[in-house]
Amino acid sequence: MAELVGYLITGVGVGCAYALLGSGLVVIHRVTRVVNFAQGGFAVLAALTVTTLLTAGLPHGLAESLAVLLATGIGLLTGMVAIGRPGTTPQAALIITLGLGVLAYAVEIFLWGDQPRSFPGLPGSTAVLGARVQTHYLLIIGVTAVILGATALLFARTDRGRALTATADDPYAARIVGIDVARMGLLAFALGGALGGLAGVLVTPVQQVSFDSDVVLVVNGFSAAILGNLTRPGLTLAGGLLLGVVQALVGGYLSTAYQTEVALIFMLGVLILRSSSARVEEVTA
C-alpha cells in the first residue's frame, strides 16, 4: 500500500511537469496553430541555466525564477523567428521550431557540455499515508497547481487573456475588433516558453537533463496535450498526470526500461483513435 502511494505521488509529480510542458504546447497551438517542437528545449535551457546560477552563488528561488524568465524571453524569440514572417504556414513554422531546437543543442553543448546535469531541489522527505516521498515531488505538485490555476484565470478573467482566447477562436474576427493578432501569437510563445521553462526547473532535481533530453520531454508533453487535441487545457493536465502515474507504475512494478514506450504507445493510440473519430465527425458534419 505504502509502495503504491509512493509510486502515485512520484507519478503525479513527474506528470505535472508533462502537463506544464503540454500546456505550453496548447497555449501556442491554440493561438497560432503552430506545434512548437522547441518546447522541450525551453525546459532544458532553463534547467541548465539554474545549474550555472546556483554555482555562481545565487540562492534557490531567485535562480529558478531568473531561469524561467530567460525561458520566457527565449519563447518570445522562438515566436519571432517561427511566425514573425507573415504568410508562414503552421507546417513551415513546425520545421522552423525543429531547427531552433537543434540550434539550442549547439548553444547548450557550447555552454554546458554534453554530460547530463542536475541540481538539488527541496531537501528531505515527507510521510504521506505511510509512504515516504521526496518533499520535492510535493513542491512540483503545489507549484503546478498554482501556476495552471493562474493561467486559467489569466485566460478567463483578464482582457489580455480574453484577447488571446478570441485570437484562438477566430483570428479574423479578433482582428476586426482591434486585437493585434500577431502580437497575441508572440505573447502565446512567451507564455509557452515560461511554462516549458518552469517544467524543466521543477523536474530536473528528480530527473537529470542533458542537451538532448528535449526530445523525450517534448514527446511526453505532446502526448499529454494530444489527449485534449492540443486545444483543451483541462484534458492536457489529465493527460500529463495519467502519463506520469502510468509511467511510475510501469517503472515500479515491471521495469524502468518500458517507461518511455508507455508514453509513446499511449500517444500513438490516442492519435489513431482520434483520427478515426475525426473522420466520422467530418462525414456527419
Partner 1 sequence: MKWIIALAAAAVVPFFLPPGQLTVYILLGLSAMAVVGLSLLMGYAGQVSLGQASFTAIGAYTAGLLAVHGVPTLLGLLAAPLVAALAAGLVGVPILRLRGHQLAFATLALQLILLSVLGDADWAGGAVGLQGLPYLSAGGFELNQDRDYACLVLAGVVLTTLIASALVRSRVGRGLRALATAPVAAGASGVPVGAYRLLVFAVSAAFAGLAGGIYAFYVGYLAPGSFPVLLSVEYVVMAVVGGLGSIAGALLGATLITLAVQLLTTLATQPGMPSYAPSVLSYAVYALLLIAVVRYVPKGIVPALLLRKGILATLHRRSS
- For the window 246-275, what string marks contact with partner 1 as x by the rule CB under 8 A? -----------x--xx--xx-xx--xx--x
Residues of span 101-120 touching partner 1 by CB under 8 A: 101-103, 105-106, 109-110, 113-114
Name the residue with cell 493527460: 239
Over the window 19 to 58, marking each residue x when it contacts partner 1 by CB under 8 A and - when it does not, the resulting string is ----------------x-x---------------------
Q: Write the CA distances from 86 to 73, 81, 104, 177, integer angstroms.
A: 21, 11, 24, 20
Residue 161's identity, in one-letter code, is: G
**Selection from 2, 70, 29 nearest residue 188 by Cα:** 29
Q: How many residues bind partner 1 (CB under 8 A)?
A: 41
- For partner 1, the closer of residues 137 and 222 by Cβ is 222
Between 54 and 264, CB nearer to partner 1: 264
Identity of the residue numbered 64: E
**Binding residue (CB under 8 A) for partner 1 from 55, 91, 158, 231:** 91
What is the pattern of x (binds partner 1, CB under 8 A) and - over residues 204-243? --------x--xx--x--x---x-----------------
Of 176, 178, 276, 283, which lies in the binding site for partner 1, with binding defined by CB under 8 A?
Answer: 276
- The angle formed by the CA atoms of residues 198, 97 and 270, to the nearest 5 degrees, is 75
User: Using CA atoms, how far apart are residues 168 and 86, in angstroms rounded to an integer?
Assistant: 17
Question: How far apart are the C-alpha atoms of 275 and 281, rounded to whole Å?
Answer: 10
Nine-digit cell string for 150: 493562474
Classify strands 125-128 and 131-134 as parallel, antiparallel or unpaired: antiparallel
Q: Which stretch binds partner 1 (CB under 8 A): 49-57, 61-69, 84-92, 183-191?
A: 84-92
Separation between Cα atoms, residue 123 and residue 121, nearest integer Å: 6
Which residues, other chains included, contact 98 with Cβ-Cβ below 8 Å and sequence gap of 6+? Answer: 37, 38
**In terms of CB distance, is 102 or 150 closer to partner 1?**
102
Cell numbers 516558453 label which residue? 193
With a CB cutoff of 8 Å and minimum separation 6, the contacts of 79 are 28, 32, 185, 186, 188, 189, 190
Comparing CB distances to partner 1, the nearer of 82 and 131 is 82
Residues 136-195, interacting with partner 1 (CB under 8 A): none
Residues at the interface with partner 1 (CB under 8 A)? 35, 37, 81, 85, 88, 90-92, 94-96, 98-103, 105-106, 109-110, 113-114, 212, 215-216, 219, 222, 226, 257, 260-261, 264-265, 267-268, 271-272, 275-276, 279
